[in-house]
Structure 1
Amino acid sequence: MNMIDRAIAVVSPVRAVKRQVARKQLDILNTGYSNSGASKQKKSMRGWRSKGGSTKEDIDENLEMLRERSRDLYMNTPLATGALKTIRTNVVGYGLVLNSQIDHEFLGITEQQADEWETHVEREFSLWAKSLMCDSMQMHNFYELQQIAFLSFLASGETFVTLPHRYHKEHWYGLRVQLIESDRISSPTNASKNIINGVELGTFGEVAAYHICNIHPLSMDSGKKEWKRVEKFGKLSGRQNILHLMESERPEQRRGVPILAPVIESLKQLDRYSEAELTAALISSLMTVFIETTEDEDGSGQVIGEGIPEEEQVDQEDDMTVELAAGSVIALNPGEKANMSNPARNNASFDPFVTAIIRQMGAALEIPYEVLVKHFTSSYSASRAALLEAWKMFKMRREFIASRFCQPIYEEWLTEAILIGRIHAPGFLENPLIRQAYSTAEWNGPSQGQLDPLKEVNAAIKRVEAGFSTRARETVEMTSGNFWRNHYQRVREENARRDAGLDLAYLEALKVLQEKEVKENDED
């Protein structure tokens, strides 16, 4: 307080206090974000109650409820089901397929030798991947496991994968893939402070191990809960014992959040609104006549006429229940009157309102409205822009599932294949660089949809001719195929057609060439 304020305080203490408060308020208002988002003085911000927390308070302590509600929406709300399955189908589809791409220059082998090695590896991997023996439950092949793991990652926010070895007399490989639902990763009873939500942290905050419960927390089965500690990396081998598929949104985050988390409330409210409109439309279509009886008549409340079959009644045991049905006539008891609200309406604002809400949800999920509801009514340019925007997200998530799920499992399989002598790779087990050179691969999945195939093909041809792209890349992006396999197949097909005399253009060119040779011989 300066000298003037002290003098005022002697004469008028209240006024001095107001001056001091006003000065503090000016300090706050004139500092950066306090003029807008962090303002505590603006009327528009006074009602905003926010409280921040660490990832433990904001995420870990809310995960159980988020998972349950997210799965409930997936199972019972069409829009949520469609959103998750749209992402799953475009990212994984029928399953990402291995395309081995070894670094033959570093390995010192020719392109032909590299091609032969890659073909052999892909054939061997297909033997394992298409077998049910790759699944620890012996129910799915590798490509189906990709779909389950990715869909669970979307709905629950994360998926855990262990890679045990169980040998079978009728199968070469012992590697198995075991998918574990996220709920089973939980903290044991009386866990130490360094175990947060089933994740054990090391000295420097790194993930050291996971604790897996033998019983699903939401299961109705009785039994003693026991936890198994699985280290993230093996002490001797250094192999990754457990894969954790999750998408981090904050530093120091150890558990994943369901993708539907930001739109759970909107989805549920929209589902209730849609159900209410559907019920109103159904009631409006039911024509029911109520007859009020007098004291002298038998007003037993029975249905006159055809009525409603018992199996279609809502509550057969409740005599007070009045069932509405198309064309039914119901007699009321003496003194009773049917007072009905009028649900008959054609809500013209239903579709625009729902569309606006879905657009907001699509923005949060990175799925344009047209792709989310599978409704393309705009121009070609607008529809293509929506597809391209969606495919930015699809490609990002495909890279995620390929690098975090497919590639680590492939490297584990390749190591076993080399150890049992099915594949020859000198130096693979000794030199990390050689291991990386042999393990390099691409994972190809569903191609991007084409609104106008002719335009898409012409654009691809121009990109290749201008040197902006390659035939191999365009083949993958347009059809998810392999250019070299297509090339060799086309050579075989064209040769077969020529040998069979079916290639008319070739025969005509051959005829012209022969006539030209005969003419030149005659002139000589």
Structure 2
Amino acid sequence: MANIIDRIVGFVSPAAGLRRHSARQLLQRAYEGANQSDGWRPRRPGASANTDHAGDARTLRTRARALSQNVPYIARGLASHTANIIGTGIIPKWLGPEAKVYAELWKVWGAQADADGVLDIYGLEDLAHLTAQRDGEALVRIRQRRKEDGLAVPVQFQVLEIDWLDDSRNGRIDGFDVIQGKAYDALGRVVGYYLFDQHPGDMVLPRSRSGGSHFVPASSIIHYFAKERPGQGRGFPRIAPAIPRVRDLSLYEDAEINRKNLESRLGVLASGDVNALADGEGTKVQEGGRMLGDLPSGGLMQVPTGSNLTVVEPKAVPGYVDYVRQALHLIAAGCGWTYEMMTGDVSQVNFSSARIRRLDYKREAEREQWLHVIPCLITPMVRAFVDAAELAGLVDKADYNVRYATPKWEYTNPRDDVKSDLEEIAGGLSTFSEKLRQRGYDPEEVVQEMKEDVDRLRKAGLLDILFMMMKVKGATDSSPQQP
């Protein structure tokens, strides 16, 4: 709205008045979300991902661990998500001329892959992913071994918590630019990590003599985390967006428990001649801090003449279940899980809604598998295995031409889903191999196994009998129903 100065300027010079009006319009915001009159001031505006990590990551990691240890639905959500992403393991399959040699070595070596001697290679995949989801990042150290150690392939892996990384190392160190314990060269490539000799929070083992960290080349470390911003060098816990709501819900649940305790207690207000109660007339006095002492269940009591008693009965406050369910939905959304997989509660869904949400989650999970887990965790582990096999002379040439098989997704309605897949193949909208890959199978292995089965049945003379049984069953299924 024009003020008196604008009107005067416009009267003297209409062009100048128009320019003043246009400039004032530019000061108005097109997005209400950018309006700063609401008092919202985000923390560290314009800070880089590494700056945000340096300020908040340690606290977020500590709180995420505490919640995963003490809040059941957070622990279940982390475990369920890892079960869907890793399952029983993401399996590599070599495609080169020495594919069978690599496959056999991987099968034998897989049970020896853990430097701690506890898990196999697929257990290490599960542990690394679960640790990274909870803490935001994890380290996998590549341990080269000697031939005389008796391993099928002389290499092992050791999963370390991110606490091993000395994030106090910053600045120009040893000729490198170091940011939170990661050393970069002039081109911005990671060249090494500064690691402690042992976990800094370990109170069992004696501290090392130096007590500091030492440089470990990047070729010996797999730093596994989800990169969400350009230039980000460290990871944040998966549940970081939901931590405030989880804490608020926990406080609300504690308050509700205290209120329920009060509701279950019988309160009595006495008025009138209460001084007579001090003489022991009618009942015990001041026992355990209560004026009337213990009130017997189903009993009759006599109180002094002139005393009036009022029973206090707190009323239940409705809406607790609805609020908790809504809060859990928001927490699940913030963590990238489904409400059902986090809580195990399927009472509020039907077949259609459960299937739609399952499909959405499947797309998100496959995105994480193929764009994050496989290139950032599985592939570096496979390459370390291949390099060690070549250096040990177990194969003629390093072969990195690998295809990966992810866990199979169970269908919500198997009969209709199989029918739909067959119709897509028959209509030329998909291939037999593509449908097998979507189900988590390797088409080459399936075809080879089918060929072996057919040859075995033909050799035993059972193939014709099997075809006859299938033909009879098909005729029976297609026959009209009798009234």
TM-score (norm 1): 0.71
1:442 maps onto 2:403 in alignment: yes
| 1:469 equivalent in structure 2 | 430
How many Å separate the matches in 2 of 1:285 and 1:382? 39
**Are 2:89 and 2:406, in contact at CA under 8 Å, matched by a contact in 1?**
yes
The superposition leaves residues 386-411 of structure 1 with CA deviations (integer Å, 9 ceiling, x where unpaired) of 11110111112212211111111112
Deviation of 1:63 (Å): 0.9
The superposition leaves residues 225-261 of structure 1 with CA deviations (integer Å, 9 ceiling, x where unpaired) of 22011232xxxxxxx3211111222222211111111
| 1:263 equivalent in structure 2 | 242
How many Å separate the matches in 1 of 2:375 and 2:329? 31
- Corresponding pairs, count: 430
Give 2:119's match in structure 1, choosing from 104, 124, 140. 140
1:451 maps onto 2:412 in alignment: yes
How many Å separate the matches in 1 of 2:63 and 2:310? 37
**Are 1:501 and 1:507, in contact at CA under 8 Å, matched by a contact in 2?**
no
Range that drifts further, 365-374 or 241-250:
365-374
| 1:381 equivalent in structure 2 | 352
Q: For residue 380 of structure 2, what is the amino acid of its counterpart?
A: P
Deviation of 1:142 (Å): 0.7
Q: For residue 329 of structure 2, what is the amino acid of its counterpart?
A: R
Alignment CA distance shift 1:201-1:419 (3 Å): closer
Give 2:32's match in structure 1, choosing from 15, 36, 43. 36
- 5+ long unaligned stretches in structure 1: 9-22, 103-113, 233-239, 303-318, 332-337, 429-437, 511-524
Q: How does 1:319-330 map to 2 (within 5 A)?
A: none
1:213 maps onto 2:196 in alignment: yes
**Are 1:370 and 1:386, in contact at CA under 8 Å, matched by a contact in 2?**
no
Q: For residue 217 of structure 2, what is the amino acid of its counterpart?
A: E
Q: How does 1:188-207 map to 2 (within 5 A)?
A: 192=172, 194-207=177-190
| 1:482 equivalent in structure 2 | 442
- 5+ long unaligned stretches in structure 2: 9-18, 302-308, 472-483
> What value does the CA root-mean-square deviation take over the aligned residues?
4.0
| 2:306 equivalent in structure 1 | none
Q: Classify the secondary structure of the residue corresponding to 1:164.
A: strand
How many Å separate the matches in 1 of 2:317 and 2:183? 57
| 2:322 equivalent in structure 1 | 352
Q: Classify the secondary structure of the residue corresponding to 1:95.
A: coil
| 1:229 equivalent in structure 2 | 215
1:254 maps onto 2:212 in alignment: no
Alignment CA distance shift 1:150-1:32 (3 Å): farther
**Are 1:160 and 1:181, in contact at CA under 8 Å, matched by a contact in 2?**
yes
The superposition leaves residues 114-147 of structure 1 with CA deviations (integer Å, 9 ceiling, x where unpaired) of 4xx3233212111111x1x311211111100111
Give 2:150's match in structure 1, choosing from 170, 173, 181. 170
Alignment CA distance shift 1:501-1:199 (3 Å): closer
**Are 1:210 and 1:231, in contact at CA under 8 Å, matched by a contact in 2?**
yes
Deviation of 1:175 (Å): 0.4
Q: How does 1:74-473 map to 2 (within 5 A)?
A: 74-102=68-96, 114=97, 117-129=98-110, 131=111, 133-167=112-146, 169-187=149-167, 192=172, 194-220=177-203, 223=207, 225-232=211-218, 240-281=219-260, 284=263, 294-296=278-280, 301=287, 345=316, 347=318, 349-376=319-346, 377-399=348-370, 400-425=372-397, 428=398, 438-473=399-434
**Are 2:77 and 2:341, in contact at CA under 8 Å, matched by a contact in 1?**
no
Q: For residue 196 of structure 2, what is the amino acid of its counterpart?
A: C
**Are 2:170 and 2:178, in contact at CA under 8 Å, matched by a contact in 1?**
no
**Are 1:84 and 1:151, in contact at CA under 8 Å, matched by a contact in 2?**
yes
